[in-house]
């Protein structure tokens, strides 16, 4: 089935990525009926992304582009008609700010902060709350010349020592400051070894809350909660840092909502419940079993968006439920309701009066800006309409089943372009990352490109996936067992439902956890004629000390460490089963992937080579774990080209 209709459609190509617009960061002015959002587009010439700001009138829906330089950064509303915009500082390690008039586009220098700033929030008067990256490895009073002399040396004294997409982080701390624009005074709020987490600000800007924890050896997975009196600078501890895992926090209707968990039932797979700050203590108001925010996977987003807002004095938050993500409304008494359902995935929200603005994707479509008011949903932008015009967009047709354990597994099939039921086609099993992530019915460029080249693409959410609650997502110490069963039974089910798929021309691919499962599958079955393993890991034992999350992820997910469960970790290592692999396999890895380190790809690749299995490896310089989602435009295309080349070689002989 073709979502966009028409008798003769062109296939989606890898270079079509250049025509997609990515929307993010929708924010509403507290001074007037205006909202601003960011639109990013890939640029082949610079091999980067151009980002510009657009404004929208929530009342009329009129949208207008307000910058054209392609270098838009973070912003906030300074006053009516004026934004305060962030840009890289002229001096290394600093951050510049400028005022931008929405009506004229004119800019004027505002101020410079002497650190790399992660986030800036407006408080009362001339005060701002600043989240800045501070390198505690060296004294702040070091001169520029002294710092330059240290560039060739990296000090490491704690875990994690690096972070994906960031680099080496040992000794670095996200630090909270108060900044007075009028006097230039900068007051440090958190200590030298304190790692800042989330922040929230009261409506009057006189109170702020923040989370985080102090550490000197290893970063904790729990956080404390603190209250800051903005006018006096005094801090009050509300919750010690060793009690709960705290996620997002938000002030709504004069109340502070806190997403947190004791992690005492299912450990890391538990979802955060909702708490309210009452009398200086946290009181649970809602047991929650769903991810807060959007966790439906696609390769067609770029940029950050807020999943929390205030609506009519209550908390509005996004919730991932099965194949969708939509907003729920939570009151201080714990009453929760779905504000409106959405057949797709909402990934960012903001509120202006009684109007909810949101960026979202519907089935077969790219991102657009939408609004909800008086019970009705209306599309405000059509920035991506032409990107898919005349293109074959295969519909993800539901193909779920009940597995041998009696559990429903949701899955979909995308038919190839010009599908003819009298012909046979190769088929590809595509697996998501995570594992606590979910496929839905969203447009995924990679899948549509493969369908446009004549492949059936089939995908499912096995046990371990998101959207079905913490119990369904909990596969601790079960990696490669129940999930493997689900993938294989789903493949059997798809072959039965789609007899046009040639069972002798099956391929399997996935990245991150999907890469782990690709490695596992090829070592435990030879039913696939080709495989592409991307940004994978294969050995929890070595991953433990190399991945930026290894020392926490591996211990929790495999219920072991190299010192108390070596055999258990090895049993769940795809590397153990490398001698049994027969499947020709392509490995794709980024040199700066610190989440699934390059060494993990090397170990599996070397093992296959050692055992005489046909295999290749393609490495991407200057890329990290996010290559397929936010990598350089030409690199993203090259990755798709390599995937297609491999499957064309082994599935279309």
Calculate mean pLDDT across residues 29-48.
96
Calculate mean pLDDT across residues 399-413.
98
Say if CB 421 and CB 411 are below 8 A apart. no
Per-residue pLDDT band at 397 (split at 50, 70, 90): very high
Return the closest-CA partner of residue 359 out of 134, 26, 96.
26
Residue 6 has pLDDT above 50, yes or no: no
Q: 501-530 burial, b if ≥16 CB within 10 A, otherwise e?
A: bbeebbbbbbbbbbbbbbbbbbbebebbbb
Query: Which of 55-59, 563-567, 591-595 has the lowest average pLDDT?
Result: 55-59
Calculate mean pLDDT across residues 216-244.
96
**Per-residue pLDDT tens over the stretch 193-225:** 999 999 999 999 999 999 999 999 999 899 999
Instruction: State the pLDDT at residue 17.
Output: 96
Copy the structure tokens of residue 191.
């200590």
Say if CB 307 and CB 294 are below 8 A apart. yes
Say if CB 170 and CB 161 are below 8 A apart. yes
| Dihedral of alpha carbons 240, 241, 242, 248, sign | positive
**Per-residue pLDDT tens over the stretch 471-489:** 999 999 999 999 999 999 9
Residue 653 has pLDDT above 80, yes or no: no
Copy the structure tokens of residue 496.
């039965």
Copy the structure tokens of residue 50.
């151009």
Calculate mean pLDDT across residues 278-285.
95
Q: What is the percentage of the chain residues whose pLDDT exceeds 90?
A: 94
Residue 642 has pLDDT above 60, yes or no: yes
Instruction: State the pLDDT at residue 139.
Output: 86
Return the closest-CA partner of residue 204 out of 230, 238, 240, 223.
230
Residue 2 has pLDDT above 70, yes or no: no
Instruction: State the pLDDT at residue 144.
Output: 82
Q: How far apart are CA 523 and CA 174, in angstroms?
A: 42
Q: How many CA atoms are closer than 13 Å to the CA of 196, on its beta-carbon side?
A: 25
Calculate mean pLDDT across residues 235-247.
97
Instruction: State the pLDDT at residue 434.
Output: 96
Q: How far apart are CA 26 and CA 6, in angstroms?
A: 34
Instruction: State the pLDDT at residue 4.
Output: 57
pTM of structure? 0.96
Which segments of 321-467 does DSSP mark as H helices, in order?
A: 445-451
- Enumerate residues 6+ apart whose C-beta is below 8 A from 422: none
| Dihedral of alpha carbons 551, 295, 535, 625, sign | negative
Calculate mean pLDDT across residues 171-180.
98
* Other beta carbons less than 10 A from residue 495's beta carbon: 18
CA distances in angstroms from 407 to 462, 472, 487, 535, 558, listed in the order given: 10, 9, 13, 29, 23
**Share of the chain residues as helix, strand and coil, in percent rounded to the nearest 5:** 20, 40, 40
Which segments of 92-221 does DSSP mark as H helices, in order?
A: 144-149
- Enumerate residues 6+ apart whose C-beta is below 8 A from 481: 475
Residue 89 has pLDDT above 90, yes or no: no
Calculate mean pLDDT across residues 410-438.
98
Say if CB 462 and CB 490 are below 8 A apart. yes
Q: How far apart are CA 207 and CA 244, in angstroms?
A: 22
Calculate mean pLDDT across residues 263-291.
94
Copy the structure tokens of residue 168.
């080496």
Copy the structure tokens of residue 198.
């989330």
Q: How far apart are CA 303 and CA 51, in angstroms?
A: 10
Return the closest-CA partner of residue 179 out of 301, 97, 250, 298.
97
E strands, 181-306, where?
A: 186-188, 194-201, 207-214, 223-229, 235-252, 255-261, 273-278, 281-286, 291-292
Q: How far apart are CA 87 and CA 89, in angstroms?
A: 6
> For 613, phi and psi rounded to 5 degrees?
-90, 135
Query: Which of 152-156, 206-210, 604-608 has the lowest average pLDDT?
Result: 152-156
* Burial class of 651 by CB neighbour count within 10 A (0 to 12, 13 to 18, 19+): buried
Calculate mean pLDDT across residues 142-154.
89
H/E element, 366 = none
Return the closest-CA partner of residue 617 out of 520, 532, 490, 492.
532
> For 287, phi and psi rounded to 5 degrees?
-75, 125
H/E element, 638 = helix 633-651
The interaxial angle of helices 482-497 and 513-524, nearest 10 deg, is: 80
Enumerate the β-bridge partners of residue 372.
356, 377
Coil, strand or helix at 37? strand
Cis peptide leading into 536, omega within 30 of 0?
no
CA distances in angstroms from 507 to 218, 459, 479, 485, 512, listed in the order given: 41, 12, 21, 17, 17
Return the closest-CA partner of residue 327 out of 292, 279, 289, 284.
292
- How far is CA 342 from its chain centroid? 20
* Largest CA-CA distance found in the chain, in angstroms, rounded: 77
Residue 377 has pLDDT above 70, yes or no: yes
**Per-residue pLDDT tens over the stretch 500-550:** 999 999 999 999 999 999 999 999 999 999 999 999 999 999 999 999 999
Return the closest-CA partner of residue 211 out of 242, 234, 166.
242
Say if CB 286 and CB 276 are below 8 A apart. no
Q: How far apart are CA 95 and CA 118, in angstroms?
A: 10
Calculate mean pLDDT across residues 280-295.
97
Copy the structure tokens of residue 209.
């809350």
Q: How far apart are CA 539 and CA 574, in angstroms?
A: 7
Q: Which residue has the tokens 């310089």?
A: 621
Instruction: State the pLDDT at residue 140.
Output: 80
Return the closest-CA partner of residue 38 out of 29, 48, 27, 47.
27
Copy the structure tokens of residue 475.
């596969």
* Burial class of 420 by CB neighbour count within 10 A (0 to 12, 13 to 18, 19+): exposed
């Amino acid at each position: 089935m073709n979502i966009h209709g028409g008798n003769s459609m062109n296939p989606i190509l890898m270079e079509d990525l250049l025509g997609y617009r990515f929307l993010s960061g929708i924010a509403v002015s507290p001074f007037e009926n205006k909202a601003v959002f960011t639109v990013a587009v890939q640029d082949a010439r610079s091999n980067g992304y151009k980002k510009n700001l657009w404004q929208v009138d929530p009342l009329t829906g009129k949208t207008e582009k307000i910058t054209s330089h392609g270098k838009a950064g973070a912003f906030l509303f300074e006053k009516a008609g004026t934004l305060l915009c962030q840009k890289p500082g002229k001096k290394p390690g600093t951050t510049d700010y400028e005022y931008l008039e929405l009506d004229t586009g004119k800019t004027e220098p505002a101020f410079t902060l002497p650190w790399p700033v992660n986030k800036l929030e407006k408080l009362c008067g001339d005060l701002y709350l600043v989240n800045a990256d501070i390198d505690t490895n060296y004294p702040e009073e070091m001169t520029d010349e002294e710092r330059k002399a240290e560039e060739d040396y990296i000090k490491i004294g704690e875990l994690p020592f690096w972070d994906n997409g960031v680099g080496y982080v040992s000794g670095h701390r996200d630090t909270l400051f108060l900044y007075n624009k009028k006097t230039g005074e900068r007051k440090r709020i958190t200590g030298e070894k304190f790692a800042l987490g989330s922040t929230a600000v009261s409506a009057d800007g006189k109170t702020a809350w923040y989370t985080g924890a102090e550490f000197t050896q290893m970063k904790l997975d729990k956080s404390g909660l603190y209250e800051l009196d903005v006018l006096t600078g005094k801090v009050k501890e509300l919750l010690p840092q060793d009690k709960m895992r705290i996620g997002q926090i938000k002030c709504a209707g004069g109340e502070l909502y806190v997403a947190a968990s004791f992690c005492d039932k299912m450990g890391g797979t538990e979802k955060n419940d909702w708490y309210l700050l009452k009398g200086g203590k946290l009181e649970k108001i809602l047991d929650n079993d769903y991810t807060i925010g959007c966790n439906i996977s696609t390769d067609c987003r770029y940029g950050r968006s807020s999943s929390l807002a205030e609506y009519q004095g209550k908390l509005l938050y996004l919730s991932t439920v099965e194949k969708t993500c939509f907003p729920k409304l939570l009151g201080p008494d714990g009453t929760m309701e779905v504000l409106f359902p959405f057949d797709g995935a909402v990934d960012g929200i903001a509120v202006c009066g009684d109007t909810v603005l949101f960026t979202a994707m519907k089935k077969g479509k790219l991102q657009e800006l939408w609004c909800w008011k008086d019970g009705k949903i209306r599309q405000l932008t059509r920035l991506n309409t032409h990107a898919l015009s005349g293109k074959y967009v295969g519909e993800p047709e539901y193909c779920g089943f009940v597995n041998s354990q009696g559990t429903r597994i949701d899955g979909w099939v995308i038919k190839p372009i010009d599908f003819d039921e009298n012909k046979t086609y190769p088929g590809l099993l595509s697996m998501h990352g995570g594992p606590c992530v979910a496929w839905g019915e969203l447009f995924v460029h990679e899948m549509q490109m493969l369908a446009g080249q004549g492949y059936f693409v089939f995908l499912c959410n096995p046990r371990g996936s998101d959207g079905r609650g913490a119990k369904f997502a909990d596969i601790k110490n079960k990696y490669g067992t129940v999930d493997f069963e689900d993938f294989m039974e789903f493949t059997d089910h798809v072959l039965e439902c789609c007899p046009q798929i040639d069972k002798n021309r099956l391929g399997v691919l996935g990245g991150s956890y999907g890469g782990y499962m690709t490695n596992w599958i090829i070592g435990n079955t030879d039913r696939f004629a080709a495989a592409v393993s991307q940004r994978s890991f294969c050995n929890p034992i070595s991953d433990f000390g190399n991945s930026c999350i290894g020392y926490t992820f591996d211990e929790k997910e495999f219920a072991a460490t190299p010192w108390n469960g070596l055999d258990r970790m090895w049993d769940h290592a795809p590397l153990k089963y490398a001698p049994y692999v027969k499947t020709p396999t392509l490995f794709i890895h980024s040199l700066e992937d610190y989440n699934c380190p390059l060494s993990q790809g090397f170990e599996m690749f070397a093992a296959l080579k050692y055992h005489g299995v046909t295999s290749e490896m393609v490495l991407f310089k200057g890329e990290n774990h996010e290559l397929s989602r936010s990598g350089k435009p030409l690199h993203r295309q090259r990755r798709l080209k390599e995937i297609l080349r491999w499957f064309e070689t082994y599935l279309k002989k």
